[in-house]
């Protein structure tokens, strides 16, 4: 069982949801889509990842959608004095010494926890990249959970949930299909520079 997070602390959750909706509305942002109630476990990817504002915007969108998110990190970053705060912000420490890598450690977390939505950036960096990191895919496929395609579209001031994707095991084809969903967002970025 996970400890309370900012997404599950009653008064804080309501306060952050109201503040998030207010800020997004004031700034002219629209929140679209939702994660179906029956999807209790998933890997949520957010792309394109281009700005330091991606995380705060993603969190405000998550609060607006009333969705609890988590992220994984190596156990060493959860030590005193910031460990409690990291967990409260949705962080889940993984012990890579037993499984040897983050993918397997995260798959194990899905086996332990009946409700878990983990957010990841497939690019792994804010810098422009041509290839995505494959960890998000291997985690979803290994844990047999869907990938939720989320987005932040700065040009049109909208963000949210696009679609739900179930892996087939054919990495190249699946990632090509997933990237196709994001293609208009990357094209929009290229045209704005």
Q: DSSP letters along 14-35, please?
A: HHHHHHHHHHHHHTT-EEE---
pLDDT (tens place) for every residue of the chain, 193 residues total: 667 899 999 999 999 999 999 999 999 999 999 999 999 999 999 877 777 788 789 889 999 999 999 988 778 888 888 888 889 988 888 776 665 688 998 999 999 999 999 998 887 655 565 678 899 999 999 999 999 999 988 889 999 999 999 999 999 999 999 999 998 887 665 565 4
- The predicted pLDDT at position 144 comes to 98
Q: What is the dihedral of CA 2, 104, 41, 183, to 10 degrees?
A: 130
Q: What is the dihedral of CA 1, 95, 100, 138, to 10 degrees?
A: 40
- The predicted pLDDT at position 184 comes to 87
Is-contact 115 40, C-beta < 8 A?
yes
What's this model's pTM, rounded to 2 decimal places? 0.86
| Count of domains forming the chain | 1
CA dist 143 → 41, 56, 132, 185 (Å): 9, 27, 20, 28
Among 165, 166, 159, 167, smallest CA distance to 33 is for 159
In a domain, 92, yes or no: yes
In a domain, 172, yes or no: yes
In a domain, 111, yes or no: yes
Among 193, 188, 175, 72, smallest CA distance to 130 is for 175
User: Could you tell me the residue range of the domain that residue 29 belongs to?
Assistant: 10-192
Rounded-to-integer distance, Cα 143 and Cα 19, Å: 34
In a domain, 2, yes or no: no
- The predicted pLDDT at position 139 comes to 95
- The predicted pLDDT at position 137 comes to 95
Residue holding tokens 């293609």?
A: 183
In a domain, 153, yes or no: yes
- The predicted pLDDT at position 95 comes to 72
- The predicted pLDDT at position 98 comes to 62
Alpha-carbon torsion (41, 47, 50, 54), positive or negative: negative
- The predicted pLDDT at position 189 comes to 59
In a domain, 119, yes or no: yes
């Amino acid at each position: 069982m996970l400890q309370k997070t900012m997404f599950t602390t009653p008064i804080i959750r309501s306060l952050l949801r109201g503040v998030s909706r207010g800020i997004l509305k004031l700034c002219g942002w629209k929140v679209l889509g939702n994660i179906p109630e029956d999807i209790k476990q998933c890997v949520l990817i957010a792309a394109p990842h281009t700005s330091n504002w991606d995380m705060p915007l993603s969190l405000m969108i998550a609060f607006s959608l009333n969705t609890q998110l988590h992220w994984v990190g190596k156990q060493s970053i959860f030590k005193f004095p910031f460990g409690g705060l990291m967990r409260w912000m949705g962080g889940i420490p993984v012990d890579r010494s037993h499984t040897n890598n983050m993918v397997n450690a995260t798959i194990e977390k899905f086996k332990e926890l009946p409700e878990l939505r983990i957010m990841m950036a497939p690019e792994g960096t804010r810098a422009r990249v041509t290839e995505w990191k494959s960890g998000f895919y291997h985690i979803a496929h290994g844990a047999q959970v869907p990938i939720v395609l989320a987005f932040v579209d700065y040009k049109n001031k909208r963000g949210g949930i696009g679609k739900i994707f179930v892996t087939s095991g054919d990495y190249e084809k699946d990632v090509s299909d997933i990237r196709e969903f994001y293609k208009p967002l990357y094209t929009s970025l290229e045209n704005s520079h």
